[in-house]
């Protein structure tokens, strides 16, 4: 038998060709991203949307489901010994610092997807790179060896005890089934022939174990695995082709679960049982009752609110150290600050989990309505964030306590600890829905002072679907300094900075919804006074048409936004765009009926079921072919 160097050289050449094919396919997704300065004009939509690739979250979830392992890297088995031959671990960095802890076996840490308006999984925002394709190759090589110890991969029992011929026969049938599940449809004849040839070549080059792992790695680098697009049914009337049942199953699954279809959905696709509105409604209801729906729905709301970035917030110790029981500055400026990072790590993670638990409660365990999402004053907090909420937060006896593991790195030393969150009720005058969560508020702030422009922009763009365009040159330099020694209130300083006529065309719209949240400082703590003066959080907001909102503060604004037709229509548009994975026309056929229904029916689950069973969902929104490629 030849040495591993020769074997891996040949296999690498074959896998590089597969990766090159993938890169060429990914390159199709490179399209311009437009901007507009008009508030009510949707982004232009290309005539032929590019192929839609799996997002990092979808990829990792799909890998876990394909291999039959939980979505918890701590519960995966150790890497098989063969993995260190086929996919050596990355060496830890060396130097004056301790090496970082080894990465978990799952999930794979991909570069962040560029996204569009905060959302990943929108084809026009997927800008690939050679680095990303390299990561896909490394991930495939890493995960492929786990097929050998997967509880679901082999079609026979006790595979490792079989004679060589039976073992190879079972391995091939297992690869065939794996490829069908990975491609989320039956293989076409050319694909089947190429895969079998690849399998045979790998068998000739090494052991059966190596051949299985390398062939699985090839499947995990094939375009049909990475892309969710297929040619569809041939058109017979000159119109664009329709969705196949396999495509519908895939679209539905990634919409509601962030992962591949399960066996029930595959069976429905294979038997042609997804062709009717009623069938799609039944599947959507079943899927929303499945635990996999919860993290997927939470994931959408993280992107909608921008709170998937909350681990990056950096409040200043000089502004908030005393709130957390430490001095506001170091005794010696030359000392390394280890106290503040040790405090802020759990605070950031707690904010993230509080957001997730709030959304999960509002959608699945509570009223399940948009009103609850926007106005509920019940949520979660931990000991880490208790100082932010103050004495007004009351623990609830009827809710479950939740414990989450968090990974912290302080002074280059990584460790895992547990964070416990408990249900609380906040004063109705201080908290109302997602817009008053500390995660959302802290993201709309600087290190010291709140950012009313950031907060107002988020409300208008994410909740009202207004596109504000690019600020004039030098706008950021004109903002008031982020300091504790400023004069006047934060609102007064912002008004002064944005008062020039060149600024007012935009800021007369942006500032009011931002000022509504001036009762919250840069870390999300409620305050009645700013710089010794009573906070003025009142204002008015024109949302277009006859909608003119007059509000007294952020809580009042949140409650009015919950009932706004403009905001509800935008929420439907955001979900529909996310479900289809592409930009929408100004008024695509079927969208208005979905919006009209949601104005009357407050249920978020019913909205998702309506989208999943709509003609818009069943129509093809992409062109090209992710199949029949090597």
pLDDT at position 51: 82
Q: Number of folded domains in the chain?
A: 2
- Is 458 within a domain? yes
Give a yes or no: residue 134 inside a domain: yes
Q: pLDDT grade, residue 44 (50/70/90)?
A: low
pTM over 0.75: yes
Which pLDDT belongs to residue 445? 97
Q: For 175-190, what is the mean pLDDT?
A: 98
C-alpha count within 13 angstroms, C-beta hemisphere, residue 463: 27
pLDDT at position 176 is 98
**Domain annotation covers residue 53:** yes
pLDDT of residue 585: 82
pLDDT band per the 50, 70, 90 thresholds, residue 47 = low
428: how many CB neighbours lie within 10 A of its CB? Answer: 12
Is 628 a domain residue? no
pLDDT reported for residue 49: 59
Asked if the model's pLDDT at residue 100 lies above 80, the reply is no
Instruction: Find the range with the poorest average confidence among 20-34, 148-162, 477-491, 583-597.
Output: 20-34
Last residue of a domain, one of 226, 249, 280: 226
- How confident is the model at residue 273, as a pLDDT? 95
Q: Do 327 and 341 touch, CB atoms closer than 8 A? A: no
- 385 occurs within a structural domain: no
Q: What is the pLDDT of residues 435-478, one digit of tens each?
A: 999 999 999 999 999 999 999 999 999 999 998 878 877 777 67
pLDDT tens readout for residues 122-142: 988 888 788 889 999 999 999
Using CA atoms, how far residue 393 sits from 6, 118, 319, 381, 520, in Å, is: 65, 31, 22, 9, 15
Which band of pLDDT confidence, cut at 50, 70 and 90, is reported for residue 428? very high
3-state secondary structure of 419: strand
Last residue of a domain, one of 531, 563, 595: 563
Q: What pLDDT score does 620 carry?
A: 80
More confidently predicted of 533 and 117: 533
Residue 615 or residue 586, greater confidence: 615
pLDDT at 99: 59
Eight-class DSSP state of 603: B
Q: Does residue 109 belong to any structural domain of this protein?
A: no
Q: Which of 240-249, 389-398, 476-485 has the lowest mean pLDDT?
A: 476-485
> In this structure, how many other beta carbons lie within 10 angstroms of the beta carbon of residue 278?
9
Q: At which of 200, 226, 252 does a domain end?
A: 226
Residue 140, domain member (yes or no): yes
Cβ neighbour number for residue 307 with a 10 Å cutoff: 26
In this predicted structure, the answer to whether residue 164 has a pLDDT above a threshold of 70 is yes
CA pair distance 121, 117, nearest whole angstrom? 11
pLDDT digits (tens, 9 = 90+) for 226-245: 998 654 444 333 344 678 99
Mean pLDDT of 175-197: 97
The reply to whether 420 falls in a domain is no
What's the mean pLDDT when you consider all of the chain?
Answer: 87
35 pLDDT exceeds 50?
Answer: no
Model pLDDT, residue 476: 72
What's the residue count for the chain? 630
Task: Quote the domain boundaries for residue 472.
Answer: 450-563
Q: How confident is the model at residue 39 (pLDDT cuts 50, 70, 90)?
A: very low
């Amino acid at each position: 038998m030849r040495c591993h160097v020769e074997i891996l050289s040949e296999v690498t050449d074959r896998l590089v060709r597969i990766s090159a094919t993938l890169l060429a396919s990914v390159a199709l997704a490179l399209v311009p991203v437009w901007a507009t300065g008009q508030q009510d004009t949707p982004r232009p939509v290309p005539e032929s949307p590019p192929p839609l690739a799996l997002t990092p979250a979808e990829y990792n979830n799909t890998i876990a489901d394909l291999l039959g392992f939980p979505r918890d890297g701590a519960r995966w088995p150790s890497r098989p010994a063969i993995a260190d031959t086929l996919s050596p671990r990355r060496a830890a960095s060396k130097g004056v610092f301790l090496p970082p802890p080894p990465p978990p076996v799952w999930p794979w840490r991909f570069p962040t997807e560029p996204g569009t308006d905060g959302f990943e999984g929108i084809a026009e925002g997927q800008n690939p790179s050679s680095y990303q394709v390299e990561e896909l190759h490394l991930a495939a090589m890493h995960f492929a060896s786990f097929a050998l110890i997967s509880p679901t991969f082999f079609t026979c029992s006790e595979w490792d005890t079989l004679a060589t011929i039976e073992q190879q026969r079972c391995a091939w049938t297992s690869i065939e089934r794996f490829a069908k599940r990975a491609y989320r449809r039956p293989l076409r004849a050319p694909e089947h022939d190429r895969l079998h040839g690849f399998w045979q070549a790998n068998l000739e080059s090494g052991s059966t174990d190596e051949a299985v792992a390398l062939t699985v790695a090839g499947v995990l680098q094939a375009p049909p695995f990475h892309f969710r697009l297929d040619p569809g049914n041939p058109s017979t009337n000159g119109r664009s082709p329709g969705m196949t049942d396999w495509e519908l199953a895939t679209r539905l699954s990634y919409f509601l679960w962030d992962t591949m279809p399960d066996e029930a959905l595959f069976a429905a696709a294979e038997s042609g049982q997804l062709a009717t509105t009623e069938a799609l409604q039944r599947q959507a209801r079943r899927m929303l009752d499945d635990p996999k729906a919860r993290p997927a729905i939470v994931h959408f709301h993280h992107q909608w609110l921008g709170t998937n970035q909350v681990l990056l917030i950096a409040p200043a110790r000089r502004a908030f150290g005393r709130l957390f029981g430490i001095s506001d500055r170091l005794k010696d400026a030359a000392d390394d600050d280890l106290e503040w990072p040790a405090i802020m790590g759990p605070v950031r993670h707690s904010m993230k989990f509080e957001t997730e638990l709030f959304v999960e409660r509002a959608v699945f365990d509570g009223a399940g309505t948009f009103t609850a999402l926007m106005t509920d004053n019940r949520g979660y907090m931990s000991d880490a964030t208790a100082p932010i909420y103050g004495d007004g937060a009351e623990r609830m006896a009827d809710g479950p306590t939740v414990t989450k593991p968090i990974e912290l790195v302080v002074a280059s030393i990584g460790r895992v600890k547990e964070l416990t969150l408990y249900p609380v009720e906040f004063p109705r005058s201080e908290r109302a829905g997602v817009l008053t969560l500390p995660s959302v508020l802290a993201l709309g702030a600087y290190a010291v002072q709140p950012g009313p422009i950031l907060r107002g922009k988020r409300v208008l763009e994410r909740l009202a679907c207004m596109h504000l365009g690019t600020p004039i040159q030098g706008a950021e330099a004109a903002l008031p300094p982020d300091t504790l020694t400023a004069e006047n209130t934060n609102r007064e300083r912002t008004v002064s900075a944005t008062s020039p006529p060149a600024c007012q065309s935009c800021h007369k719209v942006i500032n009011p919804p931002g000022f509504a949240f001036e009762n919250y400082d840069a870390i999300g703590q409620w305050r009645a006074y700013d710089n010794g003066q009573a906070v003025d959080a009142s204002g008015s907001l024109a949302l277009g048409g006859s909608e003119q909102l007059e509000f007294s503060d952020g809580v009042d604004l949140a409650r009015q936004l919950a009932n706004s037709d403009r905001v509800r229509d935008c929420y439907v548009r955001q979900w529909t765009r996310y479900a289809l994975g592409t930009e929408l026309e100004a008024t695509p056929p079927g969208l208005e009926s979905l919006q009209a229904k949601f104005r009357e029916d407050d249920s978020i689950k019913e909205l998702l079921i309506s989208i999943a069973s709509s003609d818009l969902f069943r129509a093809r929104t992409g062109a090209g072919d992710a199949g029949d490629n090597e």
